[in-house]
């Protein structure tokens, strides 16, 4: 199967940018906007999600696509001439983690803004492709959260990690400093068109509840350009600093795994871990960021001795990363290995979401409910279906079954018996838990 000419053209350009960046790691690009043309924006439109909510202008994807070529030409002309005006993003709030009170702000740009942001992001991704360290996994093509988890496990075992620094950056996307971001960007990108566009997006403003505000810092989560800018910011603030300044000064080995603003640092030496814990808030404070004093903690993660479980007060600690709790456990052969299970906060949040959905949709036809619940279960398994997490997957399927039964009973009290529901499950079975990301399946293949 041959690739589409448009995609081949854009991919060739991206490789060209990446090669130039790799050949001159200290060079700042002064001319990049010529890559931003109609084929590039067409590919940006193709890569942008089509099921997103509309922005402040209310335009849908179908509206924009009716005259796609004309809209893209107009967008390109305004971007190049400097007359493009970045509209404010529409802000909504979603629950954060398992909390029912703490929320995370999400910015929803307009369709046109998403396309142009995607186009600029594609250029930045090519520039920084070889600059970013291997420890960085978030929002990078060809890298995933599951690869980060696997790398974490392998490195923790390989360098015999005994201490984990579990770090929480307080409201990173809301406090990212615009001045520092511009300075860091200009180390590699000095193209006036691109920098002007990024500046407009940073100062576009936020529309929330009919009130327009212009935050002096931060980049709205949900914006297409935000993950790339976050990676650039933390590349210099954390990754580069850790590899160039921290590692050479440590007594023993250490490792860093980062996914966007979520990261952990592992150490073989306790004194090294405490030194980094002491200096980390100062490093982040220098760039306008704050390490959460309560949520950031140093975890004793020593591998247990012998083949028996130690007493509860002597067991190593655990830590959460990317939705999983990491802990030491015995394998089937009696060896101590690092295991993972669904973090309790994520599990509780997922069950609560299923319960609320079943309550809202209990009067829909059973066949429709069954189809939707199967889709939700498979989606859960596609992320949390990892080797060693089978118990949590089975528990989740059990909770989904229980919530479905509970809310079906509420709509039909004349059929409350469990035997009736068992017959219904025979007709509408829920998918079994599957370890989608099984290392045994990978090894076998």
The confidence score (pLDDT) of residue 108 equals 84
Q: What is the DSSP string of 93-105?
A: EEE-TT-SS-EEE
Rounded distance between C-alpha atoms, residue 150 and residue 21, angstroms: 29
Check: pTM over 0.85? Answer yes or no: yes
Tokens of 410: 């509420």
The confidence score (pLDDT) of residue 334 equals 84
The confidence score (pLDDT) of residue 95 equals 65
Which of 179, 169, 235 has its CA nearest to residue 202? 179
Sign of the alpha-carbon torsion through 279, 283, 286, 291 = negative
Rounded distance between C-alpha atoms, residue 320 and residue 328, angstroms: 13
Q: What letters, b where the CB count within 10 A reaches 16 and e where it falls short, cover 270-283?
A: eebbebbbeebbeb
Angle at 433 (CA atoms; ends 432, 437), nearest 5 degrees: 135
The confidence score (pLDDT) of residue 243 equals 97
The confidence score (pLDDT) of residue 98 equals 44
Distance set, CA 71 to CA 42, 93, 143, 198 (Å): 10, 30, 32, 20
Rounded distance between C-alpha atoms, residue 286 and residue 424, angstroms: 60
SS3 208: strand
Which of 301, 347, 294, 340 has its CA nearest to residue 320? 340
- Tokens 């279906």 sit on residue: 385
The confidence score (pLDDT) of residue 25 equals 93
Tokens of 328: 């030491």
Which of 216, 233, 192, 224 has its CA nearest to residue 89? 224
Rounded distance between C-alpha atoms, residue 31 and residue 259, angstroms: 30
Number of neighbours of residue 90 by Cβ within 10 angstroms: 21
Rounded distance between C-alpha atoms, residue 327 and residue 319, angstroms: 7
From its phi and psi, is residue 410 left (phi > 0), alpha (psi between -120 and 50) or beta? alpha
Tokens of 84: 């493009």
Note whether 343 and 325 are within 8 A (CB): yes
The confidence score (pLDDT) of residue 439 equals 64
Which of 251, 256, 197, 253 has its CA nearest to residue 229? 197
Give the chain's residues under pLDDT 50: 1-3, 5, 98-100, 443, 445
Rounded distance between C-alpha atoms, residue 276 and residue 297, angstroms: 12
SS3 210: coil
Which of 84, 368, 78, 325 has its CA nearest to residue 199? 84
């Amino acid at each position: 199967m041959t690739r589409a000419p448009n995609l081949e053209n854009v991919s060739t350009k991206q490789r060209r940018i990446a090669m130039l960046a790799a050949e001159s790691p200290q060079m700042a690009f002064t001319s990049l906007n010529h890559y931003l043309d109609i084929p590039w924006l067409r590919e940006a439109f193709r890569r942008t999600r089509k099921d997103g909510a509309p922005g402040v202008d209310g335009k849908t994807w179908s509206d924009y696509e009716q005259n796609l070529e004309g809209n893209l030409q107009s967008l390109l002309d305004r971007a190049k001439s400097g007359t493009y005006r970045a509209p404010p993003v529409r802000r909504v709030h979603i629950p954060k983690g398992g909390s029912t009170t703490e929320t995370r702000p999400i910015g929803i740009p307009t369709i046109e803004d998403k396309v142009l942001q995607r186009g600029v992001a594609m250029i930045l991704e090519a520039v920084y492709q070889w600059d970013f360290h291997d420890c960085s996994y978030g929002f990078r093509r060809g890298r995933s959260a599951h690869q980060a988890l696997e790398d974490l496990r392998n490195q923790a075992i390989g360098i015999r990690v005994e201490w984990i620094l579990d770090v929480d950056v307080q409201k990173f996307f809301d406090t990212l400093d615009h001045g520092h971001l511009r300075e860091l960007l200009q180390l590699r990108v000095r193209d006036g068109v691109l920098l002007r566009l990024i500046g407009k997006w940073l100062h576009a403003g936020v529309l929330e509840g009919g009130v327009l505000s212009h935050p002096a810092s931060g980049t709205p989560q949900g914006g297409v350009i935000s993950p790339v800018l976050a990676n650039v910011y933390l590349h210099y603030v954390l990754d580069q600093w850790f590899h160039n300044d921290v590692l050479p000064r440590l007594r023993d080995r250490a490792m860093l795994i980062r996914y966007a603003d979520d990261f952990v640092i592992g150490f073989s030496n306790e004194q090294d871990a405490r030194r980094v814990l002491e200096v980390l808030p100062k490093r982040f404070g220098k760039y306008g960021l704050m390490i959460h004093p309560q949520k950031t903690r140093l975890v004793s993660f020593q591998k247990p001795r012998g083949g028996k479980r130690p007493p509860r007060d002597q067991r190593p600690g655990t830590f959460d990363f990317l939705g999983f709790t990491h802990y030491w456990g015995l394998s089937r052969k009696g060896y101590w290995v690092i295991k993972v299970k669904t973090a309790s906060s994520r599990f509780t949040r997922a069950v609560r979401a299923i319960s609320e959905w079943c309550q809202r949709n209990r009067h829909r036809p059973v066949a429709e409910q069954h189809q939707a619940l199967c889709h939700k279960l498979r989606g859960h398994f596609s992320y949390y279906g990892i080797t060693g997490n089978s118990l949590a997957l089975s528990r989740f399927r059990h909770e989904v079954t229980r919530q479905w039964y509970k809310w079906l009973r509420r709509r039909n009290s004349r059929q409350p018996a469990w035997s009736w529901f068992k017959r219904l499950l025979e007709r509408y079975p829920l998918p079994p838990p599957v370890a989608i990301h099984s290392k045994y399946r990978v090894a076998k293949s």
